[in-house]
Structure 1
Amino acid sequence: MTDWEAVGLSGVDARVYRQLLRDPGVPVRQHSEALEEPEATIEAAVGRLVAAGLVRVGSEAAPAPVDPRSGLGMLVRERRAALEGVAAMTDQLAREFSAGQLQAEPNRLIEIAVGRDAIEARIDDMLRGATQQAVGTDTPPYVADGSLQVSSAELALLDRGVRFRAIYAAEVLDHPGWVARLGAMAERGEQSRVLPQVPVKLLIVDGTTAILPLGGDGSSRPGKARAVVVTDSALTSALQVLFDQLWGQATPLQLTQSATADPVKTLINLLASGMKDEAIARQLGVSGRTLRRRISQVQEELGATSRFQAGLQAARRGWGREL
């Protein structure tokens, strides 16, 4: 397909339009002679160009070209709108197709992925297919150190503006590599929160497809790891409800620091996340002694005698719930 065909015009139309650009306002007969085409062919092409907004006809015999930035720009916008409509229709038809398949074959609701590679490939496919949002929970142990790497599917999802929310177990923050990973994800737009404990690893895409491990996580035998993929069912909806409840209980995680960030609020947030002192000191770039001094100062400022009371006072002031 040529560029002109992409906007609904033919090669003959392109030749006629370029001829009109060279000799605007002359009779069709002369264009017929110059292009060595019958007048009927030229007149038909002019008619299509007029309909496309690329030619203006002052009289039947003397067509004049229109600025292509106007005519072609309009065509491109129309075609783009049409393609967006086709894309939306395709998504709807795909949902109807999936619903029909599931009704005909209920066993399609459940899929078992066996082995680390198969599980990672299925997660990758789910993330790449996300159109609205992805949510997930994560907790150690991990099958491999490669889990520290931000996958290309995760980056592609965030780069195209799909909302990504994740809940992490506090234990994750004890690992410097994971703190760096979460910081990189936050910079890309991921919204993350933390809980002292996360009950299950889980990923849900667009509220319709979920994947979670079966039995053990397979960390000792990657080839034996198993995960279940659940598609568009009451179970998927229930898992989404579970995530939303956990999200409401979790503490926003703010690992990125700006010059304008309130250091007290930053420290409170890290304390509330469940990070150990060593991890907090590493995150803030201070010594353990300096961190303990800052914690004491925060407790004094909040009128608290313990970290727990400091967390309560911070919550009452609305600190740490800004995501």
Structure 2
Amino acid sequence: MADWEAVGLSALDSQVYRQLLRDPGVPVAQLSEAVEEPEATVEAAVGRLIAVGLVRSGSEAAPAPVDPRSGLGMLVRERRAALDGVAAMTDQLAREFSAGQLQAEPSRLIEIAVGRDAIEARIDDMLRGATEQAVGTDTPPYVADGSHQVSGAELALLDRGVRFRAIYAAEVLDHPGWVERLGSMAQRGEQARVLPQVPVKLLIVDGRTAILPLAGDGPSTPGQARAVVVTDSALTNALQALFDQLWGQATPLRLAEPATAHPDATLINLLASGMKDEAIARQLGVSGRTLRRRIAQVQEQLGATSRFQAGLQAGRRGWE
């Protein structure tokens, strides 16, 4: 019953349509007897079925059912388009509501989240509400050892096809579990870049809402962590501009290469990311001595005197 109500039809409409599927073209009078309802009531149900495309127009006297894959499919598409329009209108009305609230009470621009759990819950809400894009920066320290784990909100965002761009401090890659996390996120569509240093942790959703830490972000003080949430303001715009500037300076992070890539492409990319030798060796599954030998061989092959030059030369030769 609930399924038929979702497309604007009643239980009687469903009953009449199912009877027509069993006995197509039966006269309305006979159809009325079969469903045990007054003839006028059945005629009204047939009219509704014609209106939604489940009964062929012009067959009122002897209703002829339409293939449900055609009739209901069209109805579902129409309802989906209408709901998409409602969703867009809801977003616009929400922005107007927020603007009105902020004008009446400017303090609503700022929200303070206190404690690790509150901060994580606020980030989760922001990610689940993203409709266009999310961008962020990340750098240690972390308030929990499990910070490398991918949250359900992050996965849901990527699975919805929302664009997600992130900039990581090179130090992040030295922390256990983070290389695997970033590889998993990349497979789901995250675009990641790396910088030697990242000035602040930051998340911005749809260019309108941003969250960043205030203080107490060390691993020993999770209960004292503070974060500020900023909504639709010049400050939000400035934070987005900061991210865009950092993004332009950052190096694309590629932790896995296609089978057609040069054999040393992964090594070059890890060197370019700023990872320490110990972390690169772990990622490649080799010893430190073997890694140093491979780096020297690559530099010699490319005619480079430094890792930076090796990265430039590899790019020019198409080692990607």
Instruction: Assess same fold via TM > 0.5.
Output: yes
Indicate how the Cα distance of structure 1 residues 177 and 45 shifts in structure 2: closer, same or farther if over 3 A, else same: closer
Tell me the distance in 2 between the aligned counterparts of 1:115 and 1:21.
Answer: 60
Partner of 2:203: 203
- State which drifts further: 135-144 or 307-316: 307-316
User: How far apart are the structure 1 equivalents of 2:299 and 2:41?
Assistant: 87
Shift of 1:41: 1.8
Residues 36 and 282 of structure 1: is their aligned pair in 2 closer, same or farther, counting only changes over 3 Å?
A: closer
Matched residues, number: 320
User: Structure 2 CA distance, aligned partners of 1:105 and 1:318?
Assistant: 56
Q: Distance in 2 between matches of 1:258 and 1:311?
A: 18
* 2:8 paired residue number: 8
Q: For 2:215, what is the secondary structure of its paired residue?
A: coil
| Corresponding residue SS for 2:203 | strand
Unaligned runs of 5+ in 1: none
Does the 8 Å contact 1:133/1:206 carry over to 2? yes
Give 2:88's aligned residue: 88
1:103 aligns with 2:108: no
Q: Secondary structure at the match of 2:64?
A: strand
Residue 198 of structure 1: how far off its partner (Å):
0.8
Aligned to 2:140: 140
The answer as to whether partners of 1:13 and 1:49 remain within 8 angstroms in 2 is yes
**Aligned equivalents of 2:241 and 2:279: distance in 1?**
31
Change beyond 3 A, Cα 1:13–1:308? closer
| Identity among equivalent pairs (%) | 88
Cα distance in 1 for residues equivalent to 2:287 and 2:115: 42
CA separation in 2, counterparts of 1:285 and 1:77? 51
Residue matched to 1:29: 29
CA distance in 2, matches of 1:177, 1:3: 44
5 Å matches for 1:192-271?
A: 192-271=192-271
Distance 2:30 2:254 in 1: 72
Say if 1:168 and 1:198, in contact at 8 Å, map to a contact too.
yes
Question: What is the distance in 2 between the residues matched to 1:151 and 1:29?
Answer: 59
- Structure 2 distance, partners of 1:56, 1:160, is 37
Q: Quick one: distance in 1 between partners of 2:172 and 2:265? A: 21
- Mapped to 1, the partners of 2:319 and 2:42 lie a distance apart of 73
Q: Match of 2:286, SS? A: coil
Bigger shift: residues 158-167 or 49-58: 49-58
CA distance in 1, matches of 2:40, 2:193: 70
TM-score (structure 2 length as normaliser)? 0.93
Measured after TM superposition, the shift of residue 317 of structure 1 is: 5.0
SS of 2:194's equivalent?
Answer: strand
Distance 1:215 1:105 in 2: 26
TM-score by length of 1: 0.92
Query: Is the 8 Å Cα contact of residues 218 and 226 (structure 1) preserved in structure 2?
Result: no
CA distance in 2 between counterparts of 1:59 and 1:140 reads 71
Question: Per the alignment, in what secondary structure is the counterpart of residue 213 of structure 1?
Answer: strand
Q: What is the letter of the counterpart of residue 79 of structure 2?
A: R
Preserved CA contact (<8 Å) 2:256 2:266: no
CA distance in 2, matches of 1:2, 1:225: 46
The alpha carbon displacement at 1:5 in A equals 2.1
Secondary structure at the aligned position of 1:63 is classed as: coil
Gap regions ≥5 residues in structure 2: none
SS in 2 for 1:214: strand
Q: Distance in 2 between matches of 1:295 and 1:127?
A: 40
> Partner amino acid for 2:204?
I
1:208 touches 1:236 (CA, 8 Å); kept in 2?
yes
Per-residue CA deviation, residues 76-129 of structure 1 (Å, 9 max, x unaligned), is: 221121112111211111111111111111111111111111111111111111
Whole-angstrom CA distance in 1 between matches of 2:134 and 2:142: 20
How far apart, in 2, do the equivalents of 1:155 and 1:171 lie?
Answer: 24
Contact preservation (8 Å) 2:139, 2:168:
yes
Q: CA deviation at 1:228?
A: 0.8
Greater Cα shift, 214-223 or 115-124:
214-223
Q: State how far apart, in whole Å, the 2-side matches of 1:198 and 1:109 are.
A: 25
Deviates more, 1:4-13 or 1:104-113: 4-13
Cα offset, 1:218, TM superposition: 3.8
